[in-house]
Structure 1
Amino acid sequence: MLQIKNLNVSYGSIHAVRNLSLEVQEGEAVALIGANGAGKTTTVNAISGTIPSKGSIIYQGKELNGLAAHKVVKEGIVMVPEGRRIFPKLSVVNNLIMGAYARKTSKKELQQEIEKIFVLFPRLAERRSQMAGTLSGGEQQMLAVGRAMMAKPKLLILDEPSMGLAPIVVKSIFSTINRIKQEGLTILLIEQNATMALSVADRGYVLENGEIRFHDTAKNLREQDVVKKAYLG
């Protein structure tokens, strides 16, 4: 579904991503893990078209590099950004509606899709009329994922979904990610929490200083001593 070949991103004299290549097959969950500053978010920003890059980003046979970010969304790639970036002064429901802005859908269909999100995240149903800015960090992350799901993505990119959340909330978020995966949605998961990321992923890439150091099945990565020592505690 997604093939990245020799991706390079620079910020002035800083070469943030170097000759990165990875692929995501339809229906699988792939984790891109690494320490803070390794280049993970830069990589997904390049995929989503929000920063310029060199190299090839092929999605379903189409070259995306150079495509505007809103057109990348229309191709079916939707990202839940680091830091969530919900609309704090809009209600939970209106945030979800904003997720479907690029699609043509009837009011009835829209309502049905919102109810599906509430099934996925019952806590959001309880707070449907609440201003998003008053939600807890975990609830805001649920809302960010729900809003992305409203866009009917073919490829869902999750950028650091565990950031700043309590361990019990992280466990809940990843349980939901696993449910979404089981429904067949293709996922690219960007995470500093390697243990949780590899628990739901089929395959993983380890990024260090902008370069892929390791690539294997999630199971094999969890068992590699060098990965365990550096990322799994």
Structure 2
Amino acid sequence: MLHIEKLNVSYGSIHAVRDISLEVNQGEVVTLIGSNGAGKTTTLNAICGVIPSKGSIRYQNKEINGLPTHQIVKEGIVMVPEGRRVFPKLSVANNLLMGAYSRKATKLELQEDLNMVYQLFPRLAERKSQMAGTMSGGEQQMLAIGRALMAMPKLLILDEPSMGLAPIVVKDIFETIRRIKQQGLTILLIEQNATMALSVADRGYVLEHGEIGFHDTAENLRNQDIVKKAYLGK
């Protein structure tokens, strides 16, 4: 579904991402793990057209590198950004509807999609009239994921969904990711919490200093000594 070859991103004299190649197949959850500053978010921003890059980014056999971000969203790639970035002065329901702005959907279709999100996140249904800025970090993360799902993505990109959240909330978020995976949605997950990321992923890539150090199945990565020591705290 997504094939990246020799992706390079530079900020002035800083070569942040160097010749990255990776792929995400339909129906997979693929995780990109690495320490702070390894280039994970930069890679995502390049995929989504937020920053310029060199190299090939092919999505469903179409070259998308160079397309504007709104066009990439219409192609079916939707990202939940780091830090959630909900609209604080809009209600939960209106935040969710903002996720569907690029679609041509009837009121009935939008309501059905809202109901789908509310089933996935019952807490959002309870608080649909509440201003998003008054919600907890975990609730805002649920809202950000729900808003992305309203765009009906074919590829969902999650950037650090556990950041700043209490462990019990992180567990809930990753349980939701498992449920989304079971529905067949393809996911590219960027996550510093390697233990949680590898628990839901099919495959993983380890990013070190802007380069892919190695990649393997999630199970094999969990059992590699170098990954255990560097990322799993073992």
Q: TM-score, with normalisation over the residues of structure 1?
A: 1.00
- Per the TM alignment, residue 214 of structure 1 is displaced from its structure 2 partner at its CA by 1.3
The amino acid of 1:187's aligned partner reads: I
Give per-residue Cα distances to partners, 1:25-47, cap 9 Å, x unaligned: 00000000001110000000000
In the alignment, what sits opposite 1:23? 23
Q: 1:16, CA displacement in angstroms?
A: 0.4
Count of aligned residue pairs for this structure pair: 233
Alignment-mate amino acid for residue 211 of structure 2: E
Which residue of the partner structure matches residue 49 of structure 2? 49
* 2:102 matches 1:90: no
* Alignment partner, residue 167 of structure 2: 167
1:176 partner SS: helix
Q: CA deviation at 1:216?
A: 0.0
> Residue 119 of structure 2: SS of its match in structure 1?
helix
DSSP-derived class of the 1:100 partner: coil
Q: Which amino acid aligns with 1:74?
A: K
RMSD between superposed Cα atoms in Å: 0.4
Report the secondary structure of 2:133's partner residue.
Answer: helix
Deviation of 1:183 after TM superposition, in Å, equals 0.5
Work out whether 1:122 is the aligned partner of 2:125.
no
Whole-Å separation in 2 of the counterparts to 1:142 and 1:208: 29
Aligned residue for 2:6, secondary structure, equals: strand
CA offset digits 1:76-107 (Å, max 9, x no partner): 00000001011000000000000000001111
Displacement of 1:109 after TM fit?
Answer: 1.2
Deviations 1:6-57 (A, max 9, x none): 0000000110000000000000000000011100000000000000000000
- Structure 2 equivalent of residue 111 of structure 1: 111
Partner Cα separation in structure 2 for residue 162 and residue 15 of structure 1: 27
| Alpha-carbon distance in structure 1 between the residues aligned to 2:91 and 2:208 | 39
1:85-142 residue CA offsets vs partner (Å, 9 max, x unmatched): 1100000000000000000111111111101101000111110000000000000000
Moved over 3 A (4+): none
**Offset at 1:219?**
0.1
Alignment-derived partner of residue 188 in structure 1: 188
Cα separation, 2, equivalents of 1:182 and 1:107: 27
2:232 aligned partner: 232
Equivalence map 1:130-145=2 (5 Å)? 130-145=130-145
* Structure 1 portions without partners, runs of 5+: none
> How far apart, CA to CA, are the structure 1 residues paired with 2:37 and 2:121?
31
**Separation in 2 of the partners of 1:18 and 1:124?**
40
User: Hey, what's the Cα distance between the residues in 2 that align with 1:109 and 1:8?
Assistant: 40
How much has 1:64 moved relative to structure 2?
0.6
1:70 matched to 2:79: no
User: Given residue 50 of structure 1, which amino acid in structure 2 is its aligned partner?
Assistant: V
Partners of 1:115 and 1:56 lie apart in 2 by 38
Distance in 1 between the 2:195 and 2:189 partners? 12
Unaligned runs of 5+ in 2: none
Distance 1:100 1:83 in 2: 20
Residue of structure 1 equivalent to 2:222: 222
Name the aligned partner's letter for residue 118 of structure 2: F
> Structure 2 CA distance, aligned partners of 1:199 and 1:117?
23
Helix, strand or coil for the counterpart of 1:151?
A: coil
What TM-score does the superposition give when structure 2 sets the normalisation length? 0.99
CA distance in structure 2 between the aligned counterparts of 1:35 and 1:178, rounded to whole angstroms: 23
